[in-house]
Structure 1
């Protein structure tokens, strides 16, 4: 009896430690596709197919970063690398001129790359912030161990396999349903871009964070700023047909957001609550933007609106829970 109890306890402890990773595994695709309004609630079954790709990628990025003591800058860079992999390899939307029959590359077309400037900026921005980084910040705010690894070697291996399966399955599905194939040069460009981004994440992660003087706005102000800026970015990218103007406005907002939040986050008064507020503001942008969004799956307008309302309420409830948990940590 005694021997059995000693062996069983660590297993239960290991399961509990891995629960945040499991939560992130499903939260990432929920935010990326369902909260966005891209997939209606009637197609919730798609979560099973999306989780290995989105969730597997998010868990791997988070675990690699925390095992090496890296911060959110490295996570953001790795999230961008993830976006390049998904859109450059698995869906090929960066290069396919008739992806989903939408002609997304026509506005602001860059002929020698075979890419569209506004679409590239938009889709990579969506993955970098919302698909990966926002779910990581929110789930870490709910965790008792926000900066520590959640998985052991076995758990990390399992999620790595799931991610590879997600990439292969999504790529195979795309190849089966679309005859387009990116050129050798385009595939090589994707590989180089991913390698450069990973190297940059390593370089940034190894540098000690610089703390500067100056005040930090209250967390709610940071959240409102994130909501306003990300909403403006989404509205600007709703006008992809404007081509280079859309790309210029989107890029300008990117520069503004990076400059503002980097400056705030370097100050000594920046806390986990501020990081959560920034992620929450961006998350709420997805929540409201889902209502005018048209889903890619067939669904009646009523079903679509009900689903949008359900996902928005769930997002608000999750953010409230994360805020309460994070506030207890900050005050302790």
Structure 2
């Protein structure tokens, strides 16, 4: 699910050859996020822990694996925005948003909808978890050996930044698994009423596209939609002011009494559709592949909605308020 949501409905739209990397992507994305999900469930954490470990995941992938956070040549990302102290800040902010939401929160949310009884339960035994950790490490090393080495041959992240990335990853894990689960969660002031699911879907679609187009060129090409309207520091600020209020709005919606699984599906659907549509630029093939991908996404989300409606008892929110299955 993570590989599909984060990569194959995004990069593969413009670069269909991405499917050839499916075995590596399954190991890197699937194992990495499965470790995150298992760790958070085992300590009784909730969405704050998932978000923080999503940041750690992004640092491991883009900082240690792809080396894209510091490389001046990878993806041509150095031309997208602002660099400081040898780090591509624009790329970093964009990928934090993409990986926290598309790699971690959305796949886990979809899986919880498909298997509601398992929301607060580990999937793996201790041996299974240990093996998955090994696979996740292999996946990061694979990114370094196969993708980074081919796209940016000879480049090595400076040792200083490598040490910083390791330290930040460790800090994220400690806070997410040791500190946050034992803190009393602050009650979010709920919205009086949640809009219709379609409105939730439109808001998530619009704000996702606003975040992506503020930081990244359409289709990851050379055309930055708002490049002439804002300076690189302004784009960093505007993107943050798009993402943070959106997250707070979703928290208020989730706390409302009339929030439902249909709202969840429309929220996720808006994010996924916008994520795919962003890549439909630059070539006829991207438009065609993207249109087909969107059709499949909408169809599967419709099937999921019907599935949830047929099993209402299983999808009632009766879980501990701090756990993954809670509102």
* Common topology (TM > 0.5): yes
Range with greater deviation from structure 2 (218-227 or 301-310)? 301-310
Q: Report the 3-state secondary structure (helix = DSSP H, G, I; strand = E; otherwise coil) of the residue aligned with 2:78.
A: coil
Cα offset, 1:174, TM superposition: 4.6
Q: Closer, same or farther in 2 for the Cα pair 1:151/1:328, shift >3 Å?
A: farther
Give the corresponding residue for 2:157: 182
Unaligned 5+ residue runs, structure 1? 1-26, 295-300
Out of 68, 71, 78, the position equivalent to 1:93 is: 68
Give the corresponding residue for 2:131: 158
User: Is 1:225 aligned to residue 197 of structure 2?
Assistant: no
Q: Closer, same or farther in 2 for the Cα pair 1:83/1:154, shift >3 Å?
A: same
Whole-angstrom CA distance in 1 between matches of 2:210 and 2:35: 30
Alignment of 1:1-332 (within 5 A): 27-38=1-12, 40-100=15-75, 102-104=76-78, 107-110=81-84, 113-145=85-117, 146-174=119-147, 176-177=149-150, 178-202=153-177, 203-209=179-185, 210=187, 212-217=189-194, 218-237=196-215, 238=217, 239=224, 241=227, 242-292=231-281, 301-330=283-312
Cα offset, 1:302, TM superposition: 4.8
Cα offset, 1:89, TM superposition: 0.5
Whole-angstrom CA distance in 1 between matches of 2:211 and 2:190: 29
Q: Report the 3-state secondary structure (helix = DSSP H, G, I; strand = E; otherwise coil) of the residue aligned with 2:20.
A: helix
The count of aligned residue pairs is 296
Cα offset, 1:121, TM superposition: 0.8
Q: Closer, same or farther in 2 for the Cα pair 1:313/1:208, shift >3 Å?
A: farther
Q: Choose 1 or 2 for highest CA Rg.
A: 1
Whole-angstrom CA distance in 2 between matches of 1:271 and 1:208: 25
Q: Report the 3-state secondary structure (helix = DSSP H, G, I; strand = E; otherwise coil) of the residue aligned with 2:123.
A: coil
Q: Report the 3-state secondary structure (helix = DSSP H, G, I; strand = E; otherwise coil) of the residue aligned with 2:154.
A: coil
Q: Report the 3-state secondary structure (helix = DSSP H, G, I; strand = E; otherwise coil) of the residue aligned with 1:104.
A: helix
Unaligned 5+ residue runs, structure 2? 218-223, 315-327
Cα offset, 1:211, TM superposition: 5.8
Give the corresponding residue for 2:320: none
Cα offset, 1:90, TM superposition: 0.3
Q: Is the 8 A contact 1:264 1:270 kept in 2?
A: yes
Q: Is the 8 A contact 1:142 1:321 kept in 2?
A: no
Q: Is the 8 A contact 1:141 1:323 kept in 2?
A: no
Whole-angstrom CA distance in 1 between matches of 2:191 and 2:239: 28
